[in-house]
Amino acid sequence: MMKKRILIIGGVAGGASAATRARRLDEHAEITMLEKGPYVSFANCGLPYYVGREIESIDDLLLETPQSFDDRFGVQVLTQQEVTRVDTSTRRVESISRETGQSLWHQYDEVILAPGAQTLSANLPGQDGSHVFQMRTVPDAARLRAFIESRPTRHATVLGAGFIGLEMAEVLTRRGISVTLVDRAAQLLPPVDADVAQYFLDRLDDSRVSVRLADTISAIEPTRVHLASGTTLPTDLVIMALGVRPDVILAQQMSLRLGTTGAVAVDARMATSVPHVYAAGDAVEKRDLVTGNAAWWPLAGIANKEGRVAGTNAAGGAAEFRGALGTAIVRVDPYTLAVTGLTEKSAGRQLVPYQLIYTVKGDHASYYPHAQDLFIKILFHPETGRVLGAQIVGQAGVDKRIDVLATAISARMTVDDLGELDLAYAPPFAAAKDAVVITGMAAENTRRGLVKPLTPSQLKQWLGEGLIPPVLLDVRDADEVGATGGIGDFLHIPLDGMRRQWDRLPPTADRPLVVYCRSGHRSYVAARMLAQRGYPQVYNLVGGFTAWQAYRSAS
């Protein structure tokens, strides 16, 4: 019986996952992996934490080696082999050794393309300096850590305020290095909404991380960088964290069809437009589980699942990859931000109707010490109530809540379903009504018409229209108002004294009455009181003063 020849171009998440899955399904196949770098399977998401010494040994980043692949899986791994040509008509691949320059030809029956992504470059004067780094490979991380530990390093400039840029800011500050984050965009973390990003930014420690948005580096010198705004920053090192794009050089040479995102188009089986060619990982276009539309996220979890499907089908099995949500999380100690599914920006681009709600709720029971706010924003369909997306910022418990919400979106659950979830409760871990449950209940109240919601963006529009302004009713306690002030020309009546002060409220006719508190919960209680006492135009500011501050700062 002829042995099937499976050739995999690229390792790390997609390629390595494909190789091991193919072997588990076909013990007799000849499986070969070609990797252009020196390491075939490494934890690239762990690279910043190696620099920060939370991961001490570089060996801990190496998930598999060529020897371990051979010993455990019988997979031949050839490193430092750069594929230069793929002849899909004869099913042959040419690779060239980056060490010797020798070329090799490899025959295949099925080939899996997993080249990953390319690092974006700014092409700046001085970017080739020895103090300028990227963070893509194990050698990148090793070189940066060696640099930091071999000389006094007081300040770093990071170009790019995305996920990698923020992770690098955190690990460098943990090592006593002050950081300036620079980004051309008007907000950090472009994949999330501006108000959520602003809430996160407002809580970063300015003494550790300085953020310069709507600016960029124009030139790099050995001891300083020049910004486009005209500012010069003294700095000891520069990290380029501009992000990545799909590596489609081979795909174009092979005449594979590219999708609307610029990545390789594949079907649910991870098959490309050319027979016997599969693709997986960061080079591949994804299917958005919410909309069904094409999307692209360079995330290791997605790449691993795609590799598993590609390896299954290349080995003669049958598997499909339904899609993804782009679930992601980042920490700049002590705060964590996470996102899953649609944001307002992505929903708007795709013309998806949505309604939103904010909640501000403790990560565990309020009576148990050290409870911290979870700032949650969810989008749901205005008619069906289906959960479409979520974003969370907090100090603790962000990861488990975003995972619950990602599961809910994948299962096409509604906000009513969220309110019914039976989640683990004990005072150190959650409240009896968990933050996710409260969010579902708040959205359900809105859908059932128990309250008229008003978002911060809608309130800003009302205040700026020049028409009859709404009455703004602040129901927080006096000390809260004294500490932060209020919104516009507001009337202050604490919730607990409202029933004794009805005479201070304005008449019920003409003007809308917008009620707010810190989080939106007490104002909901007040809005219910007022609606039942004859006020026809009562609105609750969702997310309260907390959401208003974030939105106002971002806009």
Would you please indicate which residues are annotated as catalytic (active-site) residues? 45
Distance CA 190, CA 242 (A): 12
Cβ-proximal residues to 252 (8 Å cutoff; 6+ apart), any chain: 258
- Cβ proximity of 118 and 143 under 8 Å: no
Sign of CA dihedral 513, 196, 295, 305: negative
Distance CA 237, CA 395 (A): 29
Task: Give 400-439 as a DSSP string.
Answer: HHHHHHHHHHHTT-BHHHHHT------TTT--SS-HHHHH
Distance CA 513, CA 502 (A): 14
Residue 149: other Cβ atoms inside 10 A? 11
Distance CA 218, CA 224 (A): 11
SS3 percent helix, strand, coil of the chain, rounded to 5, is: 30, 25, 40
Distance CA 40, CA 10 (A): 8
Task: Report the half-sphere exposure of 375 (CA within 13 A, side-chain side).
Answer: 25
Q: How far is CA 192 from CA 30, 210, 328, 500, 534, in A?
A: 44, 20, 10, 43, 40
Distance CA 405, CA 481 (A): 33
Distance CA 511, CA 538 (A): 9
